[in-house]
A and B are shown apart, each in its own frame.
Chain A
Protein backbone atom coordinates (compact mmCIF):
# COMPACT_ATOMS: atom_id res chain seq x y z
CA UNK A 1 0.00 0.00 0.00
CA UNK A 2 1.13 3.49 -0.81
CA UNK A 3 1.87 5.53 2.27
CA UNK A 4 1.94 9.32 2.30
CA UNK A 5 3.01 10.66 5.66
CA UNK A 6 2.60 14.23 6.84
CA UNK A 7 4.84 15.03 9.78
CA UNK A 8 2.27 16.79 11.96
CA UNK A 9 -1.48 16.31 12.43
CA UNK A 10 -1.93 19.56 14.32
CA UNK A 11 0.24 22.65 14.38
CA UNK A 12 -0.19 26.01 16.09
CA UNK A 13 2.04 28.86 15.00
CA UNK A 14 2.22 32.59 15.57
CA UNK A 15 1.78 35.28 12.94
CA UNK A 16 5.06 36.02 11.19
CA UNK A 17 6.70 32.68 11.95
CA UNK A 18 8.28 30.61 9.20
CA UNK A 19 6.45 27.29 9.02
CA UNK A 20 7.56 24.02 7.44
CA UNK A 21 5.10 21.28 6.54
CA UNK A 22 6.72 18.00 5.57
CA UNK A 23 5.40 15.21 3.39
CA UNK A 24 7.03 11.88 2.60
CA UNK A 25 5.82 9.14 0.25
CA UNK A 26 7.19 5.62 0.04
CA UNK A 27 6.18 4.54 -3.47
CA UNK A 28 8.77 6.31 -5.63
CA UNK A 29 6.08 8.55 -7.12
CA UNK A 30 7.19 11.30 -9.44
CA UNK A 31 4.32 13.70 -8.76
CA UNK A 32 3.65 15.34 -5.44
CA UNK A 33 1.06 17.97 -4.57
CA UNK A 34 0.14 20.37 -1.79
CA UNK A 35 -3.49 21.39 -1.35
CA UNK A 36 -5.30 23.42 1.23
CA UNK A 37 -8.88 22.69 2.15
CA UNK A 38 -11.28 25.24 3.58
CA UNK A 39 -15.01 24.97 4.29
CA UNK A 40 -17.03 26.12 1.31
CA UNK A 41 -13.98 26.41 -0.93
CA UNK A 42 -13.03 22.77 -1.39
CA UNK A 43 -9.50 21.67 -2.23
CA UNK A 44 -7.24 24.25 -3.81
CA UNK A 45 -3.88 23.42 -5.31
CA UNK A 46 -0.97 25.40 -3.89
CA UNK A 47 2.05 23.84 -5.62
CA UNK A 48 2.96 20.62 -7.32
CA UNK A 49 6.17 18.93 -8.36
CA UNK A 50 6.69 16.37 -11.11
CA UNK A 51 10.34 15.65 -10.37
CA UNK A 52 13.15 16.37 -7.95
CA UNK A 53 13.93 20.09 -7.83
CA UNK A 54 11.02 20.82 -10.17
CA UNK A 55 8.02 22.80 -9.02
CA UNK A 56 4.99 24.44 -10.56
CA UNK A 57 2.58 26.95 -9.09
CA UNK A 58 -0.96 25.88 -8.56
CA UNK A 59 -4.00 28.07 -8.13
CA UNK A 60 -3.02 29.81 -4.88
CA UNK A 61 0.79 29.94 -4.49
CA UNK A 62 0.98 33.39 -2.89
CA UNK A 63 2.59 33.30 0.54
CA UNK A 64 3.93 29.78 0.04
CA UNK A 65 7.04 28.14 -1.35
CA UNK A 66 8.06 24.51 -1.74
CA UNK A 67 11.16 22.37 -1.74
CA UNK A 68 11.79 19.00 -3.31
CA UNK A 69 15.40 17.96 -2.79
CA UNK A 70 14.66 14.25 -2.72
CA UNK A 71 12.09 12.30 -4.68
CA UNK A 72 10.23 11.04 -1.63
CA UNK A 73 9.96 14.36 0.21
CA UNK A 74 7.98 17.48 -0.63
CA UNK A 75 8.00 20.39 1.80
CA UNK A 76 5.61 23.31 1.96
CA UNK A 77 6.97 26.51 3.46
CA UNK A 78 4.98 29.43 4.78
CA UNK A 79 7.52 32.23 4.63
CA UNK A 80 5.70 34.44 7.12
CA UNK A 81 2.58 32.82 8.50
CA UNK A 82 -0.61 34.86 8.56
CA UNK A 83 -4.00 34.17 10.11
CA UNK A 84 -5.58 33.66 6.68
CA UNK A 85 -3.33 30.65 6.23
CA UNK A 86 -5.14 28.82 9.00
CA UNK A 87 -6.39 25.75 7.16
CA UNK A 88 -6.15 22.01 6.59
CA UNK A 89 -3.14 21.20 4.42
CA UNK A 90 -3.14 18.00 2.40
CA UNK A 91 -0.24 16.38 0.60
CA UNK A 92 -0.72 13.88 -2.22
CA UNK A 93 1.36 11.85 -4.63
CA UNK A 94 0.89 9.94 -7.89
CA UNK A 95 2.97 8.27 -10.53
CA UNK A 96 3.46 9.68 -14.01
CA UNK A 97 3.79 8.80 -17.69
CA UNK A 98 1.34 6.44 -19.34
CA UNK A 99 0.73 4.87 -15.96
CA UNK A 100 -0.76 8.14 -14.72
CA UNK A 101 -3.90 7.37 -16.62
CA UNK A 102 -4.41 4.51 -14.21
CA UNK A 103 -2.67 5.71 -11.08
CA UNK A 104 -4.79 6.94 -8.20
CA UNK A 105 -3.88 10.05 -6.27
CA UNK A 106 -2.81 9.11 -2.73
CA UNK A 107 -3.26 11.50 0.17
CA UNK A 108 -1.70 11.93 3.57
CA UNK A 109 -3.83 12.44 6.68
CA UNK A 110 -3.51 16.20 6.58
CA UNK A 111 -2.06 18.86 8.86
CA UNK A 112 -4.46 21.18 10.63
CA UNK A 113 -2.56 24.46 10.92
CA UNK A 114 -3.74 27.27 13.15
CA UNK A 115 -2.01 30.64 12.95
CA UNK A 116 -2.71 32.95 15.88
Chain B
Protein backbone atom coordinates (compact mmCIF):
# COMPACT_ATOMS: atom_id res chain seq x y z
CA UNK B 1 0.00 0.00 0.00
CA UNK B 2 1.32 3.42 -0.96
CA UNK B 3 2.51 5.61 1.89
CA UNK B 4 3.30 9.29 1.47
CA UNK B 5 5.39 11.24 3.97
CA UNK B 6 5.97 14.97 4.10
CA UNK B 7 8.86 16.57 5.91
CA UNK B 8 8.95 18.90 7.72
CA UNK B 9 5.51 18.92 9.31
CA UNK B 10 5.82 22.63 10.02
CA UNK B 11 8.06 25.42 8.83
CA UNK B 12 8.40 29.08 9.79
CA UNK B 13 10.57 31.35 7.66
CA UNK B 14 11.13 35.07 7.16
CA UNK B 15 9.78 36.71 4.05
CA UNK B 16 12.05 36.49 1.02
CA UNK B 17 13.57 33.09 1.74
CA UNK B 18 13.69 30.35 -0.85
CA UNK B 19 12.40 27.12 0.61
CA UNK B 20 11.97 23.45 -0.18
CA UNK B 21 9.16 21.17 0.92
CA UNK B 22 9.72 17.45 0.71
CA UNK B 23 7.43 14.58 -0.21
CA UNK B 24 8.42 10.90 -0.29
CA UNK B 25 6.40 7.89 -1.42
CA UNK B 26 7.03 4.17 -0.97
CA UNK B 27 5.69 2.78 -4.26
CA UNK B 28 7.44 4.26 -7.29
CA UNK B 29 4.79 2.93 -9.71
CA UNK B 30 2.88 6.19 -9.85
CA UNK B 31 1.12 7.91 -12.74
CA UNK B 32 1.38 11.38 -11.37
CA UNK B 33 2.19 13.41 -8.30
CA UNK B 34 0.21 16.49 -7.37
CA UNK B 35 0.94 19.37 -5.02
CA UNK B 36 -1.88 21.23 -3.30
CA UNK B 37 -2.27 24.28 -1.12
CA UNK B 38 -4.84 24.46 1.66
CA UNK B 39 -5.78 27.63 3.51
CA UNK B 40 -7.33 27.30 6.98
CA UNK B 41 -10.91 26.04 6.85
CA UNK B 42 -10.88 25.72 3.07
CA UNK B 43 -10.60 23.00 0.47
CA UNK B 44 -7.46 22.05 -1.44
CA UNK B 45 -6.27 24.05 -4.42
CA UNK B 46 -4.18 22.26 -7.03
CA UNK B 47 -0.79 23.92 -7.56
CA UNK B 48 1.16 21.59 -9.81
CA UNK B 49 0.78 18.14 -11.29
CA UNK B 50 3.80 16.19 -12.50
CA UNK B 51 3.22 13.28 -14.81
CA UNK B 52 5.28 10.15 -14.24
CA UNK B 53 7.26 10.80 -17.43
CA UNK B 54 8.19 14.32 -16.35
CA UNK B 55 10.97 15.56 -14.09
CA UNK B 56 9.54 18.91 -13.09
CA UNK B 57 6.79 21.47 -13.49
CA UNK B 58 6.90 25.20 -12.92
CA UNK B 59 4.26 27.79 -12.19
CA UNK B 60 5.40 31.28 -11.30
CA UNK B 61 7.53 31.11 -8.15
CA UNK B 62 6.75 27.41 -7.67
CA UNK B 63 8.78 24.54 -9.05
CA UNK B 64 8.02 20.89 -8.35
CA UNK B 65 10.38 18.06 -9.18
CA UNK B 66 9.85 14.32 -9.31
CA UNK B 67 12.35 11.50 -8.94
CA UNK B 68 10.41 8.26 -9.23
CA UNK B 69 13.39 6.00 -8.73
CA UNK B 70 14.12 7.46 -5.30
CA UNK B 71 10.45 7.99 -4.43
CA UNK B 72 10.78 11.71 -3.89
CA UNK B 73 9.25 14.99 -4.94
CA UNK B 74 10.14 18.49 -3.84
CA UNK B 75 8.24 21.75 -4.02
CA UNK B 76 10.50 24.76 -4.31
CA UNK B 77 9.07 28.17 -3.43
CA UNK B 78 11.17 31.11 -4.49
CA UNK B 79 11.20 34.45 -2.68
CA UNK B 80 8.53 33.46 -0.18
CA UNK B 81 5.81 35.95 0.78
CA UNK B 82 3.40 36.13 3.75
CA UNK B 83 0.61 35.20 1.32
CA UNK B 84 2.32 31.83 0.82
CA UNK B 85 1.40 30.89 4.39
CA UNK B 86 -0.75 27.77 4.16
CA UNK B 87 -0.55 23.99 4.41
CA UNK B 88 0.99 22.25 1.42
CA UNK B 89 0.03 18.67 0.63
CA UNK B 90 1.34 16.22 -1.91
CA UNK B 91 -0.56 13.26 -3.35
CA UNK B 92 0.76 10.32 -5.36
CA UNK B 93 -1.59 8.53 -7.76
CA UNK B 94 -0.86 4.98 -8.89
CA UNK B 95 -2.64 2.32 -10.90
CA UNK B 96 -6.01 2.82 -9.26
CA UNK B 97 -5.88 6.56 -9.99
CA UNK B 98 -6.82 7.12 -6.37
CA UNK B 99 -4.33 9.55 -4.88
CA UNK B 100 -2.65 8.86 -1.56
CA UNK B 101 -2.05 12.01 0.44
CA UNK B 102 0.70 13.06 2.78
CA UNK B 103 -0.25 14.87 5.99
CA UNK B 104 1.09 18.17 4.78
CA UNK B 105 3.63 20.81 5.69
CA UNK B 106 2.28 23.83 7.53
CA UNK B 107 4.14 26.91 6.31
CA UNK B 108 4.27 30.31 7.97
CA UNK B 109 6.06 33.13 6.21
CA UNK B 110 6.46 36.09 8.55
CA UNK B 111 7.13 39.66 7.41
Contacts and interface: CB of A to CB of B under 8 A. Distances in A.
Nearest to B102: A42
Interface residues of A, number: 28
Interface in A69-105: 88, 90, 92, 94, 96, 100-105
B46 A106 contact: yes
A16 B51 CA distance: 44
B49 A102 contact: yes
B44 interface: yes
- Sorted from nearest, which 7 A-B pairs have the closest CB atoms? A42-B103, A107-B43, A104-B46, A107-B44, A109-B43, A43-B101, A101-B31
8 contacts: A92-B44, A100-B93, A101-B31, A101-B32, A105-B99, A107-B36, A107-B46, A110-B41
